[in-house]
Amino acid sequence: MAKVLVVDDYEDIVDNLEDLLSEAGNEVTKAYSKEEAIELIKREHFDVIVVDLVMQRDKSGLVMETDKSGIEVLKKAKEIDPFVEVIVLTAYGAVKTAVPAMKLGAFDYVEKSTEIDDEGDVYDKMVNTVHKAVEHRMAHKSEIKETVGKFILDELTKSGVLSLPQLLAKSPFPPDAVHKGLKVLQEAEKIETRVDPKTEVEMYKRRYSGLGDKILSQISMRS
């Protein structure tokens, strides 16, 4: 089951999408404005976000002249969680408006229609797109964790001991990915941590095991 946030300034569309995606086995949260969506993203975890690309009403219902509301939600979502998948909703026949969102990392787009609540093509498209987005998120997270883990271990091999600020400064990955990579390596006992008493900064050191350890111990005993 995926956690999905649906964002649109038209309540009927949000409510209809909630019904469709809930029936498909997803846990759905609703938001009716850019502001409400960003507040939710800051405090809750979502696997997939479905957001209208152009929302013209704010949280209070006032009409706002903006065509960047969906883009702003996309940017904030990716900033907080680089693994989240975002699907943008576009007006029927306005495919070109989705191009900027795709360049910023949106997973896909779905064209809206006035018949979004019918069990037709739009229904199938949305449910299938959310399902594919969840699969992509899982594969992407696994790939990134593996790549980040290798980066951390390589850096610790070269440097011996590194602090988190040093790792973040060297890393080409988002801070959130580095934190998750460290957690995975700690749980797998691939690295160990200690606090530097001088700076009270947590330091990370690679743990060596297996044949390498045996060879090192033999050399140490003979020297």
Q: What CATH number is associated with residue 13?
A: 3.40.50.2300
Count Cβ atoms below 10 Å from residue 90 Cβ, excluding itself: 19
**What per-residue confidence (pLDDT) applies to 4?**
95
pTM score, whole prediction: 0.63
At 137, is the pLDDT very low, low, confident or very high (cuts 50, 70, 90)? Answer: confident
Higher-pLDDT residue of 31, 56: 31
Higher-pLDDT residue of 158, 217: 158
For β-strands 201-206 and 191-196, DSSP reports them as: antiparallel
23 φ/ψ angles, rounded to the nearest 5 degrees: -60, -25
79 lies in which domain range?
3-140
Do 73 and 36 belong to one domain?
A: yes
Asked if residue 119 has pLDDT above 60, the reply is: no
Buried b / exposed e over 46-64, threshold 16 CB at 10 Å, is bbbbbbbbbbebbeeeeee
For the segment 122-134, the average pLDDT, to the nearest whole number, is 83
**What per-residue confidence (pLDDT) applies to 75?**
93
The last residue of a domain, from among 98, 113, 140: 140
Do 51 and 160 belong to one domain?
A: no
Do 129 and 157 belong to one domain?
A: no
For residue range 22-37, what is the model confidence (pLDDT) as tens digits? 998 999 999 999 999 9
Do 117 and 194 belong to one domain?
A: no
From residue 160, how far is each of 40, 97, 107, 182, 195 by CA, in Å?
Answer: 40, 49, 39, 15, 15
Query: Within 13 Å and on the Cβ side, how many CA atoms surround 140?
Result: 15
Lowest-pLDDT choice from 10-14, 55-59, 104-108: 55-59
Higher-pLDDT residue of 24, 123: 24
The β-bridge partners of 109 are: 88
| Dihedral sign for Cα atoms in the order 91, 126, 99, 93 | negative
Do 145 and 204 belong to one domain?
A: yes
Count Cβ atoms below 10 Å from residue 5 Cβ, excluding itself: 25
Do 76 and 115 belong to one domain?
A: yes
For residue range 174-220, what is the model confidence (pLDDT) as tens digits? 787 788 788 888 888 889 998 988 888 899 999 875 444 444 445 44
Q: Is 96 helix (H, G, I), strand (E, B) or coil?
A: helix
Do 196 and 162 belong to one domain?
A: yes
Do 120 and 214 belong to one domain?
A: no
Do 128 and 166 belong to one domain?
A: no
